[in-house]
Structure 1
Amino acid sequence: MNVRSVGVEEELLLIDPSSGVPRAIAGGVIRFARENGDEGDDARDDDRDDGGDDDWHDGGDDGGDVEPLEAEFQREQLETATRPCLSLEELAEQIHAARRAASDAAHGLGAEIAALATSPVAVSPSVTPSSRYLRMARAYGKTAEEQLTCGCHVHVSVESPDEGVGVLDRIRPWLPPLLALTANSPFWQDQDTGYASFRQQLWSRWPSAGPTGLFESVKAYRDTVEDMVRSGGLLDEGMVYFDARLSRNYPTVEIRVADVCLLADDAVLLAALARALAETAALGWRAGELPDPVRPEVLRLAMWRASRSGLQGELLHPVTQRPAPAHDVLSALVDHVTPALEQAGDLHAVRELLGGLLRRGTGADLQHAVRQRGGEMTEVVQSAVSRTLGF
């Protein structure tokens, strides 16, 4: 039985443990990690993407170690990445190990890590001083200045670019529920935004971000990307911020819609569902089944709805594109991918992980619970620090 490999990239905030304010120390944390046994090399910081394809590493051994820590767009955050994994157990181990490695390195500079998609405490972020990031800051003004956001990107292997485009065309309606179940950014700049995922609102400001129409062929996909870059509105191909895209350097599709998950278990659940969606879509493509022609304008509304309320209310149903209770939409998602989950041996784990999430709530729900108990924003962050490491 062939099972697709899956890997996860997580962006994390670097936090002052007493105030909860993000600290601009990513370069120092990465140097500390390297000097204390991490094989990472921050020479790549000058020209790397924001969490895109250059971060996806081909695992060459049995997966015991995780990949090095990496810098991100803002100095108050860093990124971890797992190796490609075949089992959810291996993936969970790698996610936990990556978070521990990031925490250990942050402790070297007196900081903590928090898996928060936006900072609840007010902060003035500072751009990582690389040539590419500084050009982005100049070109995009306030959009770039306010992009202290942390996502979770899932890479799923595909057999060819043609299969990859077939997958992209067929998973489009099912991506908003993935955002809803990972929503983890209700607070921003010391304010309750009224959104479960305000990160998605901030991220959608980029000119290339969001859902896409149908591509139907690799040529159409490549032509679209080339036209976007030639328009002058993007600095390079790395700034093609589709909700899901083909990797430039590796045989994967990258699903980019999720907030970084507060709990590692939720990141595993996200990855399992993303892999099952890709497998289901690939089977449909090979069978000649036509993709849902739902327009990107409707998908944008579906993503907004998921961002606004998370699992507390209604979502647009991926089949009917009409409002439906969030729990019904998640049930439909699991039903849609059940054969793929069974093939990978993931169905029981997904049901267990989803049940746990529905009982305790999303990261956004857990953050709100701290506030409802009378906690200040600093306490929201401190609670998140504990939950990031599973305490």
Structure 2
Amino acid sequence: MASLSIDRRDRSHRNDLRAFTVGVEEEFVLIDPATGRPCLTNTTVAAAGTDSALQLELSQCQIETCTPVCASIEAVHREVRRARVTIVDAAARSGSLPLAVGVPIWGPPSGSITDTPRYQRIAEHFKALADQVTCGCHVHVCVPDRDLAVQVSNHLRRWLPALLALTANSPIAEGIDTGHASWRHTVWARWPSSGPPPYFRSAAHYDDIVAGLAEDGQILDPAMVYWDVRLSAHLPTIEIRISDVPATVVETTLLASLVRALVITSVAAIGRGHLADPITRTHLRSACRYAARNGLSSTRFPTTIAGRRDTRHALAQLLCHVRSALEESGDYEFTRDALAAVLTSGNGAVRQRSALRAGGPANVFAVLARLTVEGCDIGNSQRSR
């Protein structure tokens, strides 16, 4: 896997790019290192954390890390790595192990909902729909003008299938290959507010749609807007949520770099008066389902961006599309090399399937445990727990 190598030349002329700060949230499954079964210990693990970076999630076997606001991709890499060290340390104190995986290899018992008022309210309202465990990666990029942010969302929609194919990391559930590189995407799609966002005319249009979802009982609060791109309910950011949690720190950093560059490129296009293509949600849902099923192995890519060529061509188009923004920020070489490394070595889905063929579910756990802390400074005692 590529290591982080970012241009450290003077960037004093790039002040305008510093406004596009980034934050990353990663969700993890907590397992028993001896059995590989989920551990329902997220409250204990969160309490053992050294700072507020650890957050509870819907299932008791899930926990989330949150980076601080980062002004550069180099800082993102450092903070994601630090957050993974933090969660491994905290989990070790409760005898559990965090895995960066989109769905657990073995699911927890039914009804393992985290005991907080909000999560219990969600479980009561949505019943069996809430009885799922999925782990994603959410990238926030600062866009404080909401009308601009919804136009950025319109521009990002066409790239969602490519980002999903790149980060797919959940092919195995209940110990078997599901036939989907991202089973998480398929499971998550059951939520009524999930999937690609609508094409918005304005921030007011966005708010009207959200209000309608709430009125119809499809969401209980704005935080339940689960679109693949959404405006944050409490931060001046646009949040891209399409991805499985990537297997490694470098892959998460790669995702953050591409997303930030996409936002910067979109803002520039909007400034030139370019409107995004109004691709239908039906078309985007179909393309995302295809990406979820096939991941990096796709021999064609059913979206307008790639002309039905393969996924690798779609990702090459994505890199070309954002190259100017990456070069201006000094992140192009890292992003190019990290993308090439994933295409050569495989993403999490490719590695999980290889591990399953080689040694069954136990080998998948071992590989995921290693990838989760790849490049992190983790002591040998914690690695072997």
TM-score in terms of structure 2 length: 0.90
Q: Which residue of 2 aligns with 1:345?
A: 330
Following the alignment from structure 2 to structure 1, what is the Cα–Cα distance between the partners of residues 309 and 235? 37
Q: Return the letter of the residue paired with 2:364.
A: V
Q: Cα deviation per residue 1:275-305 (whole Å; 9 max; x = unaligned)?
A: 1111111111121112111101000011001
Q: Return the letter of the residue paired with 2:44.
A: G
Q: Cα deviation per residue 1:338-368 (whole Å; 9 max; x = unaligned)?
A: 1111121111110110011111101000001
Q: Which residue of 1 aligns with 2:379?
A: none
Asked if structure 2 preserves the Cα contact closer than 8 Å seen for 1:122 and 1:190, the reply is no
Q: Which residue of 1 aligns with 2:248?
A: 263
Superposed, 1:15-164 pairs within 5 Å as 15-33=31-49, 38-40=50-52, 68-124=53-109, 126-145=112-131, 147-164=132-149
Following the alignment from structure 2 to structure 1, what is the Cα–Cα distance between the partners of residues 167 and 226? 19
Moved over 3 A (4+): 317-322
Gaps of 5+ in 1: 41-67
Q: Return the letter of the residue paired with 2:123.
A: A
Q: Which residue of 1 aligns with 2:8?
A: none
Asked if structure 1 preserves the Cα contact closer than 8 Å seen for 2:306 and 2:317, the reply is no
TM-score in terms of structure 1 length: 0.89
Measured at CA, do residues 313 and 211 of structure 1 come closer, stay the same or move farther in structure 2, by a change above 3 Å? same
Q: Which residue of 2 aligns with 1:167?
A: 152
Residue 223 of structure 2: SS of its match in structure 1?
helix
Q: 1:184 deviation in Å?
A: 0.2
Q: Which residue of 1 aligns with 2:170?
A: 185
C-alpha RMSD over aligned residues: 1.3
Q: Which residue of 2 aligns with 1:383?
A: 367
Following the alignment from structure 2 to structure 1, what is the Cα–Cα distance between the partners of residues 308 and 173? 27
Please, which of 197, 202, 213 is the counterpart of residue 217 of structure 1?
A: 202
Q: Return the letter of the residue paired with 2:337.
A: E
Measured at CA, do residues 88 and 80 of structure 1 come closer, stay the same or move farther in structure 2, by a change above 3 Å? same
Measured at CA, do residues 367 and 193 of structure 1 come closer, stay the same or move farther in structure 2, by a change above 3 Å? same
Q: 1:321 deviation in Å?
A: 6.4
Residue 63 of structure 2: SS of its match in structure 1?
strand
Q: Return the letter of the residue paired with 2:366.
A: Q
Asked if structure 1 preserves the Cα contact closer than 8 Å seen for 2:169 and 2:349, the reply is yes
Q: Which residue of 2 aligns with 1:48?
A: none
Q: Return the letter of the residue paired with 1:198.
A: W
Q: 1:159 deviation in Å?
A: 3.8
Q: Return the letter of the residue paired with 1:252.
A: T
Q: Cα deviation per residue 1:318-339 (whole Å; 9 max; x = unaligned)?
A: 4356421111010011111111
Superposed, 1:274-289 pairs within 5 Å as 274-289=259-274
Q: 1:143 deviation in Å?
A: 1.7
Q: Cα deviation per residue 1:172-213 (whole Å; 9 max; x = unaligned)?
A: 000111010000000112221000000000100000101123
Asked if structure 2 preserves the Cα contact closer than 8 Å seen for 1:23 and 1:76, the reply is yes
Gaps of 5+ in 2: 1-13, 376-385
Following the alignment from structure 1 to structure 2, what is the Cα–Cα distance between the partners of residues 263 and 254? 20
Following the alignment from structure 1 to structure 2, what is the Cα–Cα distance between the partners of residues 93 and 318? 34
